[in-house]
């Protein structure tokens, strides 16, 4: 779904030009003249939670001609990087917000001139931090404010074409001064020691994406490359300058706002121990077919939620709650500079193998910061899994607008007593659910967790 970027005309002549006439008043006539059209391009709202955006890169420079539908700028929202396309022909007359700077949603970030002759006029009207609108300029409005839209699209890395090494300057380098690349592509290039100036991008207007970097380096996909690295020694800690104060990124600001908002919700927590021997055995059988443990847990959770719809409900206004019609499992993923929750939609209806393929696709897009809003804002129940780090139990903070989140710990061999008085070894994991107590009560969670345990301990329904 496209998002819209608003702009308005900045007229340059008075509304009317009056002149006294020697003719009778019946012959008086009012003229209406507009000499130029200069449009303000505003920072778009790319998600419902976005309050400001950061300019990642301008894909055009001042004076460049723009065609309708052409990408102009890459904006970082609270969760993803999005390309902004122009809905009008014209010239990028003046850039108000430079690369690396942020601006509130709705504030002007650039001026668009209708003709090349109007570029200098637009530059003279470029606002500065100390300038304000004059009454004269306000009085000179000649026409109703028009709405100018720019479409916002998320570039999918699956659209990448053949990749090749460049021996000369390519479109993404803009004359060799600047390389236009996605944040993940830059990070990957740094890890591989690759100079992006020698890579041809397959994204819009030559923008470099992760697959371009991998192909240029002659490497396998990042997951395979990481596995092939020598495992000796602990991973190096990220280089940071101690004693410095670092401002939040756009994503960190969004996470901070959400966490503070969640404090207003009365929550409670219920824990449960689940035996995972049967699930572990199933995972060994289907792993070779591309099935992930995340998909198994999401599928099991979704099937349990079918029988306990109140746990899949949500309360947003404090006066009512909604039984959500879909079971969309959001799964927390740590990415560079923040956290995001890609959503497995209709997880109860999608088969396990399709669910696994979809999850891998979502993770790739999340790491490249290319998720579309509906892929991370539509969750009805959230999973947070730290088991792969050996964490045995933890509590998760409830995301705003949802009813519950489940924290999943590691499955570990445990000595347990059986009903016949014997002692045996079983694999067990701890899960803790944090829920909105305005909607969900202790008995609801207890019943849900019992059903989840039954599904995991006898997982035959997961592969149906």
Question: Cα dist. 6→87, 111, 204 in Å?
Answer: 10, 12, 22
Is there a catalytic annotation at residue 437?
Answer: yes
Task: Name which of 342, 346, 384 is nearest 363 in CA terms.
Answer: 342
3-state SS string over the chain? CCEECCCCEECCCCCCECCCCCCCHHHCCCECCCCCCEEEEECCCCCCCCCEEEEEEECCCCCCEECCCCEEEEEECCCCEEEEECCCCEEEEEECCCCCCEEECCCEEEEEECCHHHHHHHHHCCCCCCCCCCHHHHHCCCCCCCCCCCEEECCCHHHCCCCCECCCCCHHHCCCCCCCECHHHHHHHHHHCCCHHHECCCCHHHCECHHHHHHHCCCCCHHHHHHHCCCCCCCCCCCCCCCCCCCCCHHHHHHHHHHHHHCCCCEEEEEEEEECHHHHHHHHHHHHHCCCHHHHHHHHHHHHHHHCHHHHCECCCCCCCECCCCCCEEECEEECCEEECCEECCCCCCCHHHHHHHHHHHHHHHHCCCCCHHHCCCCCEEEEECHHHCCCCCCCCCCCCCCEEEEECCCEEEEEECCCCCEEEEEEEEEEEEEECCCCCHHHHHHHHHHHHHHHHCHHHHHC
Closest alpha carbon to 41 in 97, 116, 119: 97
Q: Which of 18, 32, 374, 437 is catalytic?
A: 437
Torsion of CA 330, 334, 336, 340, to 10 degrees: 20
Q: 10, 45, 38, 79: which is closest to 150 by C-alpha?
A: 45
* Active site members: 437
């Amino acid at each position: 779904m496209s998002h819209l970027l608003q702009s308005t005309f900045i007229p340059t002549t008075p509304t009317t030009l009056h002149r006294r006439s020697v003719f009778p008043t019946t012959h008086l006539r009012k003229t209406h003249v507009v000499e130029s059209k200069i449009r303000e391009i505003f920072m778009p709202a790319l998600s419902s939670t976005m309050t400001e955006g950061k300019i990642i890169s301008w894909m055009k420079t001042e004076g460049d001609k723009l065609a309708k539908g052409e990408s102009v700028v890459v904006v970082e929202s609270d969760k993803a990087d999005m390309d902004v396309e122009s809905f009008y022909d014209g010239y990028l007359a003046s850039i108000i917000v430079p690369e690396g700077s942020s601006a509130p949603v709705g504030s002007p970030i650039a001026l668009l001139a209708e003709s090349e002759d109007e570029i200098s006029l637009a530059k003279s009207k470029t606002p500065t931090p100390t300038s304000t609108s004059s009454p004269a300029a306000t009085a000179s409005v000649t026409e109703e404010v028009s709405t100018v839209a720019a479409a916002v699209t998320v570039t999918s890395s699956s659209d990448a074409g053949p990749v090749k090494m460049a021996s000369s300057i390519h479109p993404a380098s803009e004359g060799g001064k600047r390389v236009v690349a996605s944040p993940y592509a830059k990070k990957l290039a740094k890890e591989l020691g690759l100079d992006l100036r020698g890579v041809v991008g397959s994204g819009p207007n030559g923008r470099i994406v992760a697959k371009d970097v991998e192909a240029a380096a002659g490497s396998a996909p990042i997951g395979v490359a990481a596995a092939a690295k020598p495992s000796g020694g602990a991973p190096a800690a990220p280089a940071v300058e101690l004693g410095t104060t670092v401002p939040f990124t756009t994503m960190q600001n969004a996470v901070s706002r959400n966490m503070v908002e969640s404090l207003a919700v009365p929550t409670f927590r219920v824990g449960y121990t689940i035996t995972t021997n049967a699930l572990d055995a199933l995972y060994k059988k289907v792993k070779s077919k591309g099935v992930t443990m995340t998909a198994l847990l999401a599928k099991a959770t979704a099937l349990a939620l079918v029988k306990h719809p109140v746990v899949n409900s949500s309360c947003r206004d404090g006066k009512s709650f909604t039984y959500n019609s879909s079971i969309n499992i959001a799964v927390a993923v740590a990415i560079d500079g923040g956290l995001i929750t890609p959503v497995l939609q209709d997880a109860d209806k999608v088969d396990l193998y399709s669910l696994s393929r979809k999850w891998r696709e979502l993770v790739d897009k999340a790491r490249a910061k290319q998720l579309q809003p509906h892929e991370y804002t539509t969750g009805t129940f959230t999973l947070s899994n730290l088991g792969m780090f050996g964490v045995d139990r933890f509590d998760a903070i409830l995301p705003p607008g949802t009813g519950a989140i489940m924290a999943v710990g590691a499955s570990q061999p445990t000595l347990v007593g059986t009903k016949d008085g014997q002692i045996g070894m079983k694999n067990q994991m701890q899960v803790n659910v944090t829920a909105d107590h305005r909607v969900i009560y202790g008995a609801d969670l207890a019943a849900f967790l019992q059903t989840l345990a039954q599904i995991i301990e006898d997982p035959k329904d997961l592969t149906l």
